[in-house]
Amino acid sequence: MAGIIYFDNAATTRVDPQVARVVQGAMLENFGNPSSPHTLGLEAERWVRQARDEVAQALGCASDEVYFTSGGTEADNLAIRGVLQARSRKGKHIVASAIEHAAILETLRLLREAELCDYTLVKPDAKGYISPDAIVNALRDDTVLVTVMAVNNEVGTIQPITEMVRLVKARDKAVYFHTDAVQALGKIPCRVGDLGVDLLSASGHKLAGPKGVGSLYCRDGVLLASQITGGGQEEGLRSGTENVPGIAGFGRAVALAMGYMAERVDRWRQMQERLLALLDAIPDSHIHGEPLANAPHIINIGFRGVRGEVLVHALAGEGLFVSTGSACSSKRASQSHVLAAMEVAPKIAEGSIRISFGPENTLEEVELAAELIKKTVAELRRFQRQ
């Protein structure tokens, strides 16, 4: 990490050394199959059980309500496809926000093309907020699921999930509510009892854990059909030999994130305030959403007269790593669907970048990053005018 400033933590984080040691131990020492009845298998099973307990403690749920997956995308898919299949008698309509992750929106699109579901997308306001009343108004008699992400991955908006759930359940208690909490866990409280949700997705690599592992919280009593069948692991909901190293690392990462959350949030808020003050000096810059009211680790800002992908590459050449938006929907250059839904002017949207903090970032890095951004934006604008 020496010599660079990594401000792309919403895309992925560096694995915490403590987590890496746990992963290595599960690979080299406790390498048994948790389904095996011998000592090595029982020890591997113990590691999986401990990780399940750590995730459950963070979410405030029972351990047997936590199911491990390959990441947030699979968890989102399991929630959507699993509910549709299990609740087909009630209907096949889903309500979602228009600013969901591609794991939600692309899944819904493909399911509708296959005539397996119908869905309604609810647009945000100019700040990125989804109205709870608009969610309720989109419900139909055949609605089986509402899915709204807890924290938007591009602009950081924190959605009023608790209020949404309350209103949805008051209208139709048979409708399940799912939230993608991939950008929320470890940054804001995500206790499922307070949120009221039936399903919640999480991912390891967004909070200093390994890639390729995540979880789905599924409230006891919720009907969900398995999408990966085989040996019956994860109580039959997600077959396949468990990724013990990843799961063990994920559990430790969640425990560490929860232990340090208050301290990190305070530091990230200071970094947000300082960076916003410094970037405000750049002419014709536009902050998207309300950063200081949003998640503490994300800022999204647009610069008129600059192309976001060009700015990202130019900054990377200077050792500063940011992004143009979600890193999870391939490397195609296209306008952000989140900013489009917020009705951000195209000339601003195309010049937007996302800056996201992680556990290792400092105020000193904020100062250096601001200077690099100001210098690079000015240079790119001069080049555009030539």
Q: Across-strand partners of 97?
A: 122
Contacts of 199 (CB under 8 A, 6+ apart): 79, 83, 176, 177, 178, 179, 216, 217, 218, 219, 222, 224
The rounded Cα 341 to chain-centroid distance in angstroms is 18
Instruction: Tell me the C-alpha distance between 269 and 279, whole Å.
Output: 15
Encoding tokens for residue 233?
């692991």
Q: Across-strand partners of 96?
A: 121, 147
Q: Where are the beta strands (DSSP E) in the chain?
A: 5-6, 66-69, 93-97, 118-122, 143-147, 176-180, 199-203, 214-218, 285-287, 298-303, 320-321, 352-356
Encoding tokens for residue 296?
């503490």
User: What one-letter code names the amino acid at 287?
Assistant: I
Instruction: Tell me the C-alpha distance between 364 and 352, whole Å.
Output: 23
Q: Across-strand partners of 321?
A: 6
- Of 61, 117, 218, 328, the catalytic one is 328
Ramachandran bin of 195, using left for φ above 0, alpha for ψ from -120 to 50, beta for the remaining angles: alpha
Ramachandran bin of 180, using left for φ above 0, alpha for ψ from -120 to 50, beta for the remaining angles: beta
Of the candidates 300, 283, 376, the one whose C-alpha atom is nearest the C-alpha of residue 7 is 300
Residues composing the chain:
386
User: What one-letter code names the amino acid at 47?
Assistant: W
Residue 190 annotated to the active site: no
Of the candidates 303, 338, 335, 310, the one whose C-alpha atom is nearest the C-alpha of residue 156 is 338
As annotated, the active-site residues are: 328
